[in-house]
A = this chain, B = another copy of it.
Amino acid sequence: MARGRRALEAIDGAAGQAVIDALADISPDFADYLFEFPFGDIYSRPGLARRDREVSTIAALAAMGTAQPQLKIHIAAGLNVGLSREEITEILMQMAVYAGFPAALNGLFAAKEVFASRDAEKIEARP
Protein backbone atom coordinates (compact mmCIF):
# COMPACT_ATOMS: atom_id res chain seq x y z
CA MET A 1 0.00 0.00 0.00
CA ALA A 2 2.93 2.36 0.71
CA ARG A 3 4.21 1.58 -2.80
CA GLY A 4 0.76 2.45 -4.19
CA ARG A 5 0.68 5.72 -2.25
CA ARG A 6 4.04 6.74 -3.74
CA ALA A 7 2.94 5.71 -7.24
CA LEU A 8 -0.29 7.72 -6.95
CA GLU A 9 1.61 10.78 -5.77
CA ALA A 10 4.14 10.55 -8.59
CA ILE A 11 1.49 10.08 -11.27
CA ASP A 12 -1.63 11.98 -10.28
CA GLY A 13 -0.37 14.56 -7.81
CA ALA A 14 -2.97 16.84 -6.28
CA ALA A 15 -5.87 15.52 -8.37
CA GLY A 16 -5.35 11.97 -7.11
CA GLN A 17 -5.17 13.22 -3.53
CA ALA A 18 -8.46 15.08 -4.01
CA VAL A 19 -10.17 11.81 -5.01
CA ILE A 20 -8.79 10.08 -1.90
CA ASP A 21 -10.01 12.96 0.29
CA ALA A 22 -13.47 12.90 -1.26
CA LEU A 23 -13.77 9.21 -0.37
CA ALA A 24 -12.98 9.82 3.33
CA ASP A 25 -16.55 10.15 4.56
CA ILE A 26 -18.23 7.64 2.26
CA SER A 27 -15.75 4.83 1.78
CA PRO A 28 -12.22 5.19 3.19
CA ASP A 29 -11.61 1.48 2.46
CA PHE A 30 -12.09 2.17 -1.23
CA ALA A 31 -9.24 4.68 -1.07
CA ASP A 32 -7.10 1.84 0.33
CA TYR A 33 -8.08 -0.39 -2.58
CA LEU A 34 -7.11 2.40 -5.00
CA PHE A 35 -3.65 2.47 -3.43
CA GLU A 36 -3.46 -1.28 -3.31
CA PHE A 37 -4.67 -2.61 -6.67
CA PRO A 38 -4.35 0.02 -9.45
CA PHE A 39 -1.35 1.86 -8.01
CA GLY A 40 0.32 -0.67 -5.72
CA ASP A 41 -0.12 -3.69 -7.99
CA ILE A 42 -0.66 -2.63 -11.59
CA TYR A 43 1.22 0.68 -12.01
CA SER A 44 4.21 -0.67 -10.07
CA ARG A 45 4.73 -3.64 -12.37
CA PRO A 46 7.97 -3.50 -14.37
CA GLY A 47 6.69 -4.98 -17.68
CA LEU A 48 5.34 -1.71 -19.16
CA ALA A 49 6.76 1.80 -18.99
CA ARG A 50 4.81 4.31 -16.93
CA ARG A 51 4.47 6.47 -20.04
CA ASP A 52 2.88 3.55 -21.92
CA ARG A 53 0.51 3.00 -18.99
CA GLU A 54 -0.76 6.56 -19.29
CA VAL A 55 -1.11 6.24 -23.09
CA SER A 56 -3.28 3.15 -22.43
CA THR A 57 -5.40 4.81 -19.78
CA ILE A 58 -6.04 8.01 -21.74
CA ALA A 59 -7.07 5.95 -24.78
CA ALA A 60 -9.32 3.64 -22.77
CA LEU A 61 -11.12 6.35 -20.79
CA ALA A 62 -11.69 8.48 -23.89
CA ALA A 63 -13.04 5.47 -25.81
CA MET A 64 -15.40 4.46 -22.99
CA GLY A 65 -16.80 7.97 -22.67
CA THR A 66 -18.26 7.33 -19.21
CA ALA A 67 -15.46 8.69 -17.04
CA GLN A 68 -14.73 12.33 -17.87
CA PRO A 69 -13.39 13.25 -14.37
CA GLN A 70 -10.94 10.34 -14.48
CA LEU A 71 -9.97 11.15 -18.09
CA LYS A 72 -8.98 14.67 -17.04
CA ILE A 73 -6.90 13.31 -14.13
CA HIS A 74 -5.06 10.98 -16.50
CA ILE A 75 -4.48 13.62 -19.16
CA ALA A 76 -2.74 15.59 -16.39
CA ALA A 77 -0.93 12.42 -15.28
CA GLY A 78 0.18 11.88 -18.88
CA LEU A 79 1.83 15.32 -18.88
CA ASN A 80 3.44 14.45 -15.51
CA VAL A 81 5.09 11.30 -16.90
CA GLY A 82 6.41 13.05 -20.00
CA LEU A 83 3.77 12.86 -22.73
CA SER A 84 3.66 16.03 -24.80
CA ARG A 85 0.41 17.92 -25.40
CA GLU A 86 0.72 16.97 -29.05
CA GLU A 87 0.98 13.26 -28.23
CA ILE A 88 -2.08 13.41 -25.96
CA THR A 89 -4.01 15.25 -28.65
CA GLU A 90 -3.04 12.59 -31.19
CA ILE A 91 -4.21 9.76 -28.90
CA LEU A 92 -7.57 11.48 -28.46
CA MET A 93 -7.99 12.18 -32.18
CA GLN A 94 -7.25 8.54 -32.93
CA MET A 95 -10.18 7.50 -30.75
CA ALA A 96 -12.46 8.83 -33.52
CA VAL A 97 -11.49 5.71 -35.46
CA TYR A 98 -12.31 3.23 -32.71
CA ALA A 99 -15.04 4.87 -30.62
CA GLY A 100 -16.46 7.52 -32.94
CA PHE A 101 -16.05 11.25 -33.45
CA PRO A 102 -18.09 12.25 -30.35
CA ALA A 103 -15.73 10.24 -28.09
CA ALA A 104 -12.73 11.98 -29.71
CA LEU A 105 -14.35 15.42 -29.47
CA ASN A 106 -15.30 14.98 -25.82
CA GLY A 107 -11.76 13.79 -25.11
CA LEU A 108 -10.24 16.76 -26.92
CA PHE A 109 -12.41 19.18 -24.96
CA ALA A 110 -11.33 17.50 -21.71
CA ALA A 111 -7.68 17.95 -22.77
CA LYS A 112 -8.35 21.59 -23.63
CA GLU A 113 -9.54 22.17 -20.05
CA VAL A 114 -6.53 20.41 -18.54
CA PHE A 115 -4.06 22.28 -20.77
CA ALA A 116 -5.74 25.62 -19.94
CA SER A 117 -5.59 24.89 -16.24
CA ARG A 118 -1.86 24.08 -16.53
CA ASP A 119 -1.29 27.38 -18.35
CA ALA A 120 -3.17 29.22 -15.60
CA GLU A 121 -1.03 27.56 -12.92
CA LYS A 122 2.15 28.61 -14.72
CA ILE A 123 0.98 32.22 -14.93
CA GLU A 124 0.05 32.23 -11.23
CA ALA A 125 3.41 30.69 -10.32
CA ARG A 126 5.32 33.60 -11.91
CA PRO A 127 7.15 35.83 -9.46
Contacts and interface: CB of A to CB of B under 8 A. Distances in A.
Q: How many copies does the complex hold?
A: 6
A25 B111 CA distance: 11
A84 to B, nearest CB: 8
Residue among A25, A57, A65, A115 with max Cβ neighbours from chain B (10 Å):
A57
Interface of A: 19, 22-23, 25-27, 29-30, 33-34, 36-38, 41-42, 45, 47-48, 52-53, 55-67, 69-70, 86-87, 89-106, 108-109, 111-112, 115
Given A96-B33, A98-B100, A98-B101, A64 B67 contact: no
13 contacts: A23-B105, A36-B41, A42-B97, A45-B93, A48-B86, A48-B94, A52-B55, A52-B87, A56-B56, A59-B59, A69-B102, A96-B100, A100-B103
Interface residues of A, dominant DSSP:
helix
Nearest to A52: B55
Contact of A29 (B55, B93, B95, B115): B93
Given A60-B99, A98-B101, 7 more contacts: A23-B108, A38-B101, A55-B56, A64-B64, A70-B105, A96-B100, A98-B100
